Amino acid sequence: MEQNCYLAVDIGASSGRHILGHLEEGRMVLEEIYRFENRMDSRDGKLLWDTGRLFEEIVKGMGLCRRMGKLPVTMSIDTWAVDYVLLDQKDQVLGDTYGYRDSRTLGMDGAVYRILPEEELYGRTGIQKQMFNTIYQLMAVKNQTPKLLEKAKTFLMLPDYFQFLLTGNKVSEYTNATSTQLVSPVHKQWDRELMGMLGYPETMFLPLQMPGTLVGNLRPEIREKVGFDCQVVLCASHDTASAVMAMPAVEGEGCYISSGTWSLMGTELPEAVCTEKSRRENFTSEGGYDFRFRYLKNIMGLWMIQSLRHEEKDRYSFARLCRMAEECKDFPSRVDVNDAVFLAPPSMTEAIREYCQRTGQKVPAAVGEIAAVIYQSLARSYGETVKELEEITGRQFDRIHVIGGGANAAYLNQLTASATGKTVYAGPGEATAVGNLMAQMIRNGEFAGLEAARKCVFESFGIVRYGNGSEST
């Protein structure tokens, strides 16, 4: 009997992919159908997303499913967090769709804190301060282009917007919404009182729905373009929330690093942590699947090595950069990877060199030396973070699950094992797409629940262990 097939559309800040998944003899099988580039466009001094182009890529990849004769019963879309669109009365996008690295939020934290002090805001939401959080983006709209807020009828995070374009139905998903810093961790819904305090029109925010919720079927014009119909359902649409779903461990074991453009390091907790100590250490309690909380720290991740590679005209593969860094492993300099200078520098290479010079360290010259600084500095940050995580939660972790694209960075994984003193289990590499598929499969009864799905993930993908040496498990 032919197995049910599911489609995950996973769009990250640097690339997107369409991945089909099905179960075969109890194991999850993946097939990449389509992959496309993504980037923020620099236009008139702004960093913007081209949502029109991204939607065209979504539809194009769906059409390939039909041409291959592999039709999904359901599909779902996940993306990065915090970015959004505002729609007017006619469901047209108002203004520009900004990327989170845009500088318009500079000073907007002060504008928010004049209304609600930072300590009170954290105690209310449990969300880590990042200058790109939606709460600060909306304050920039309120201060710089207030007429847009006056005209706005609907607020949608980007995955919700793309799924609206597919179905004609507007549904807001919970996990991604928590990244806005506007959701109550107690009620798991928008904090409308907070919105009122900040002057954000609360009527534009739709009630939050959980992963597994049906959005709807494809609109007729989309069906005609792609050549089939299917149901669109919510996954955990914040890509990190989907990636954490795919952590191949039984509940309560270990912590994780969702390693991609960003490194999200944390653990799962049943309740949010909104203490002052947690705020000072800059941890966050983001919403996860099945009302779990992803208690984590947002660390600058492979964005730094991605930027270095682009500045070198992409002539080195990531595997080659790892080898070059290992060849320069004795280079002594380190940087604070979370320093704001690395968020969106004109040149990552120069930003690293200037940081080393400013802090009195040896300045890297060769590409391998710069790569070594990046990888060693990331590993050091992981080591510091796991200690903070253990102190705040009162837990002791014996293992770290590296999930996402960084699972393939063998050198960094070994450095992480050394820097943390923990055993590192790397994989699956396509964790976000796997988590997206898990939510669909659980909804359709393929798995009894998250624990069964995670067990399947562990048995389906090659997980590599790093400790004293490395071995496949």
Q: Which residues are catalytic?
A: 239
Nearest to 261 by CA among 100, 370, 373, 416: 100
Determine the length of the chain.
Answer: 473
Nearest to 370 by CA among 357, 352, 356: 352
Residues near 132 by beta carbon (within 8 Å), at least 6 away in sequence: 82, 100, 101, 102, 105
- Distance (Å, rounded) from C-alpha 101 to C-alpha 347? 14
Query: Which region holds residue 82: left if phi is over 0, alpha if psi is between -120 and 50, else beta?
Result: left
Q: HSE (CB half, 13 Å, CA atoms) of 217? A: 8
- Give the residues across from 399 on adjacent strands: 423
Nearest to 270 by CA among 247, 288, 283, 254: 288
Helix (H) or strand (E) holding 11: strand 6-11
Q: HSE (CB half, 13 Å, CA atoms) of 222? A: 23
Q: HSE (CB half, 13 Å, CA atoms) of 460? A: 26
- Distance (Å, rounded) from C-alpha 19 to C-alpha 24? 16
What Å distances lie between residue 191 and 115, 181, 273, CA to CA?
A: 15, 9, 17
Other beta carbons within 10 angstroms of residue 459's beta carbon come to 12
- Give the residues across from 269 on adjacent strands: 293
- Distance (Å, rounded) from C-alpha 148 to C-alpha 105? 16
